[in-house]
Structure 1
Amino acid sequence: MGRGRAKAKQTKVARQLKYTSHTIDYDRLREELTVDSHRDDLRPVTSSEQESEPAR
């Protein structure tokens, strides 16, 4: 009981996802993914990470 509205909403969302056409901008996606990979390099190293890394 009480599941009617939730199920109806899930069905509506599922139909929208199934039947609407989605256009993907692959160039923008590529740019976003490459920016995220560079963020790790900009992050400062914490003291616990320095201790766990072997000396070079």
Structure 2
Amino acid sequence: MGRGRAKAKQTKVARQLKYTNHHIDYDRLREELGADSRGAEEISPPSASEQESERAQ
């Protein structure tokens, strides 16, 4: 017994997380994390010659 309050609180928190509008400012987050100014889509994967040079080291 005694689980009723804990379960009710967990349900309340879960509902708040599910139905609350979460606005995320991705530009501000990127600045705080110190990410590069280029977007993730603009970064190209390493070419085959770059990969081979990395393996040789």
Q: Please report the TM-score for the alignment, with normalisation by the length of structure 1.
A: 0.57
CA-based RMSD: 1.3
Runs of 5+ in structure 2 lacking a partner?
36-57
- Select the structure with the greater relative contact order (CA < 8 A; seq sep ≥ 6): 2
Runs of 5+ in structure 1 lacking a partner?
36-56
Structure 1 residue 28, shift from structure 2 partner: 1.1
Name the counterpart of 1:16: 16
Structure 1 residue 32, shift from structure 2 partner: 1.2
Q: Secondary structure at the match of 2:34?
A: helix
> Separation in 1 of the partners of 2:12 and 2:21?
15
What letter matches 2:30 in structure 1? R
User: Percent identity between the aligned chains?
Assistant: 89
Runs of 4+ in 1 over 6 A off after TM superposition: none
The aligned length equals: 35
